[in-house]
C-alpha cells in the first residue's frame, strides 16, 4: 500500500502541473477510465449541437442551397487545411474523404504511377515492386495486394526495420505504418522516408495510430503521400472520414485510380472528358459525407491552442507512468510489455502481453477501465493526452493488478463445466 499512496500522490502532482488538463472539460466523459481512444476517440462536447444545426438548419431548411451557402462542397479541403497543422503540413495538401482503406488505394496506385513516370518521361517504367509493412494493420496489406495486382507489381512484405534492405531500382512504392497497431512501436518516419527516396521510390505513410498523438512533420521529412483515419486520437466519431495528404510537388502528377467527379477541375461542367483539379482536391472522389465530415470539423475545435509538442510530452509522461505503475502493482511475470521502452520508438499506447487477454479485458471493462484486446494475447491501452489524466493512469494499473489477482484466486473455484 505504500506504493499505492506514493503513486497516487505522484499522479495528483502530475495532474496539477499538466498544461493540457483543462482540455478534459471539452469532452463528454464519465467515471470510467477510457483508454481506448486509440480505437474510438471520446465525444467532444460541442459535436452534438453542431450536427443538430447541420441537420435542422443546413439540411432541413436550406436544403440544396447548403452545398454552396453552408460551404458543404468545399468541406473536404477546408477541413483538410484545419487538420494539416496536426500532420505538419502546409495548407492545400490534405483532403478529408472516404475511408482509410480507400485512401490507401488511391495513394498507392498514384505513387506507383508517379514512380514510373507515367504521363511524364517514363524513366521509371521498369519499377514493379510495392513494399508493404509485414506487420501492418491487415487492411493496408489487402489493399496493397490489390494495388499491386492492378498495376502489375509484385508485393514485397517486410518488417519495417528490414525495409531498407529490400529496396532497390525496381521499387515503385512503399506503404508503412507510423506506429504498429498491436505493439504501439513507433517507426522511424524520417529515416525510412529517406531510404525510400534514396532508391527513387515513393513512400505512403499510414498515420492512423499517430496523428493527434505526436508531431508528424510530413512536410519537414519529405513524405510523399500519407493517409489516416480521424476517429482515433482525432476524435471525429465512429467511422468519420479519413484523410489523404499529397505533397505539393507531387500534385501535378497525382493520377488517381478513383477519378470521381469531385476531383474534376470543373465538377459542375458535367464534361465527358476528365480533367483533374490542380491541387489536393484531385484526391477527392464522390460526394462528401456531410454529417460525418462536419462532426469531425466540430471535433477539431478541441485542438485550439494545443501544440503537438505538448501532446507528445504528456503522452510519453502518461505511458512512462503507466509502465511504472504496472511494474509496481502487477506481480512479476503476469504481463509483459511489448511496447518499446525507448521514447523514440513509442507511440501513444502500451500493449501488454497477457494469458487470457480477452477474458482479462472483459473484466477490466466491467470494473470501469476500458482498453481493448487484439488477438491472440495483447491488452491495448491507448493514452489520449487531451482527456486522460495521470490519476486515470494510476487507477488503470491498479485495477489491472486487482483483476489479475482475482483471476488467480478465481481459477480453482470455477473449473470449466463440460468440454
Q: Considering only residues 19 through 38, tell me which ones interact with its own copies, judged by CB under 8 A.
A: 28, 30, 34, 36
The footprint of its own copies on residues 81-100 (CB under 8 A) is 98-100
Q: Nearer to its own copies by C-beta: 344 or 375? A: 375
Among 2, 25, 268, 418, binds its own copies (CB under 8 A): 268
- CB 317 to its own copies: min, Å: 24
Q: Residue with C-alpha cell 510523399?
A: 224
Span interacting with its own copies, options 51-59, 80-88, 341-349, 395-403, rule CB under 8 A: 51-59
Span interacting with its own copies, options 142-150, 183-191, 197-205, 209-217, rule CB under 8 A: 142-150
Measured from the Cβ of residue 3, the count of other Cβ atoms closer than 10 Å reads 12
d(CA 45, CA 298): 9
The footprint of its own copies on residues 61-80 (CB under 8 A) is 61, 63-67, 72
Q: Nearer to its own copies by C-beta: 51 or 201? A: 51
Residue among 385, 346, 351 nearest 186 (CA): 346
Give, for 95, the enclosing helix (H) or strand (E). strand 94-96
Q: Residue 381 catalytic? A: no
Cell, residue 124: 521509371
d(CA 220, CA 341): 26
Among 111, 295, 386, 404, binds its own copies (CB under 8 A): 295
Query: Could you tell me the CA-to-CA distances from 22 to 247, 306, 387, 388 in Å, in that order?
Result: 35, 11, 9, 11
Q: At what angle do helices 75-87 and 290-299 cross, to 10 degrees?
A: 30
Among 10, 166, 217, 261, binds its own copies (CB under 8 A): 261
Among 119, 122, 191, 269, binds its own copies (CB under 8 A): 269
The footprint of its own copies on residues 167-186 (CB under 8 A) is 182
d(CA 257, CA 28): 40
- CB 119 to its own copies: min, Å: 12
Q: Which of 106, 182, 232, 282 is catalytic?
A: 232
DSSP at 248: G
- 278 contacts its own copies (rule: CB under 8 A): no
- 257 contacts its own copies (rule: CB under 8 A): yes
Q: Residue 57 catalytic? A: no
Q: Which of 18, 206, 224, 372 is catalytic?
A: 206
Among 7, 89, 175, 285, binds its own copies (CB under 8 A): 285
Q: Nearer to its own copies by C-beta: 114 or 290? A: 290
- 56 contacts its own copies (rule: CB under 8 A): yes
- CB 50 to its own copies: min, Å: 10
Q: Which of 231, 245, 296, 387 is catalytic?
A: 231
d(CA 259, CA 276): 8
The footprint of its own copies on residues 324-363 (CB under 8 A) is none
Q: Cβ neighbours of residue 253 under 8 Å, at least 6 residues apart?
A: 113, 114, 119, 120
Q: Residue 113 catalytic? A: no
d(CA 18, CA 14): 6
Q: Residue 137 catalytic? A: yes
The footprint of its own copies on residues 205-244 (CB under 8 A) is 229, 231, 237-242
**Dihedral over Cα of 386, 89, 175, 152: its sign:** positive
- CB 219 to its own copies: min, Å: 26
Q: Cβ neighbours of residue 81 under 8 Å, at least 6 residues apart?
A: 91, 92, 94
- What's phi and psi for 415, nearest 5 deg? -65, 150
- 301 contacts its own copies (rule: CB under 8 A): no
Cβ proximity of 230 and 241 under 8 Å: yes
Among 124, 137, 156, 348, binds its own copies (CB under 8 A): 137
DSSP alpha helix (H) spans, 18-99: 47-53, 66-69, 75-87
Note if the bond before 376 is cis, omega within 30 degrees. Answer: yes
∠ CA(343), CA(230), CA(243), 5° rounding?
Answer: 105
Give the count of residues interacting with its own copies (CB under 8 A). Answer: 81
Q: Nearer to its own copies by C-beta: 187 or 334? A: 187
Q: Residue 232 catalytic? A: yes
- 265 contacts its own copies (rule: CB under 8 A): no
What is residue 373's three-state secondary structure?
strand
Catalytic positions, written as ranges: 137, 206, 231-232, 380
Amino acid at each position: 500500500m505504500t506504493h499505492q499512496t506514493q503513486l497516487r500522490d505522484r499522479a495528483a502532482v502530475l495532474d496539477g502541473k499538466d498544461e493540457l488538463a483543462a482540455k478534459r472539460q471539452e469532452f463528454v466523459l464519465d467515471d470510467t477510465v477510457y483508454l481506448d481512444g486509440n480505437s474510438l476517440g471520446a465525444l467532444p462536447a460541442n459535436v452534438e449541437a453542431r450536427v443538430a444545426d447541420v441537420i435542422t438548419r443546413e439540411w432541413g431548411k436550406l436544403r440544396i442551397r447548403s452545398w454552396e451557402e453552408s460551404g458543404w462542397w468545399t468541406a473536404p479541403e477546408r477541413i483538410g487545411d484545419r487538420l494539416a497543422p496536426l500532420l505538419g503540413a502546409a495548407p492545400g495538401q490534405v483532403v478529408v474523404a472516404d475511408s482509410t482503406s480507400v485512401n490507401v488505394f488511391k495513394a498507392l496506385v498514384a505513387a506507383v504511377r508517379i514512380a514510373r513516370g507515367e504521363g511524364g518521361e517514363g524513366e521509371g517504367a521498369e519499377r514493379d515492386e510495392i513494399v508493404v509493412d509485414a506487420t501492418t494493420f491487415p487492411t493496408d496489406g489487402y489493399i496493397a495486394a490489390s494495388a499491386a495486382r492492378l498495376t502489375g507489381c509484385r508485393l514485397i512484405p517486410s518488417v519495417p526495420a528490414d525495409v531498407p534492405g529490400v529496396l532497390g531500382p525496381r521499387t515503385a512504392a512503399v506503404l508503412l505504418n507510423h506506429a504498429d497497431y498491436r505493439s504501439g512501436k513507433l517507426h522511424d518516419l524520417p529515416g525510412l522516408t529517406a531510404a525510400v527516396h534514396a532508391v527513387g521510390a515513393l513512400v505512403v505513410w499510414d498515420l492512423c495510430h499517430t496523428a493527434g498523438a505526436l508531431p508528424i512533420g510530413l512536410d519537414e521529412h519529405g513524405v510523399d503521400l500519407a493517409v489516416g483515419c480521424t476517429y482515433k486520437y482525432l476524435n471525429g466519431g465512429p467511422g468519420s472520414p479519413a484523410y489523404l495528404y499529397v505533397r505539393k510537388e507531387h500534385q501535378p502528377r497525382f493520377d488517381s485510380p478513383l477519378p470521381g467527379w469531385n476531383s474534376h477541375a470543373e465538377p459542375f461542367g458535367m464534361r465527358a472528358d476528365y480533367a483533374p483539379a490542380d491541387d489536393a482536391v484531385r484526391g477527392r472522389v464522390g460526394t462528401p459525407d456531410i454529417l460525418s465530415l462536419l462532426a469531425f470539423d466540430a471535433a477539431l475545435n478541441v485542438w485550439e491552442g494545443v501544440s503537438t509538442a505538448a501532446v507528445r510530452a504528456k503522452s510519453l509522461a502518461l505511458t512512462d507512468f503507466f509502465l511504472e505503475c504496472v511494474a509496481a502493482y502487477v506481480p512479476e511475470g503476469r504481463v509483459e510489455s511489448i511496447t518499446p521502452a525507448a521514447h523514440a520508438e513509442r507511440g501513444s499506447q502500451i500493449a501488454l502481453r497477457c494469458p487470457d487477454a480477452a477474458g482479462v479485458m472483459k473484466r477490466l471493462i466491467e470494473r470501469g477501465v476500458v482498453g481493448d484486446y487484439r488477438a491472440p494475447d495483447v491488452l491495448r491501452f491507448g493514452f489520449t493526452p487531451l482527456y486522460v489524466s495521470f490519476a486515470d493512469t494510476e487507477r488503470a494499473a491498479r485495477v489491472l493488478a486487482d483483476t489479475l489477482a482475482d483471476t488467480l484466486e478465481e481459477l480453482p473455484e470455477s473449473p470449466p463445466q463440460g468440454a
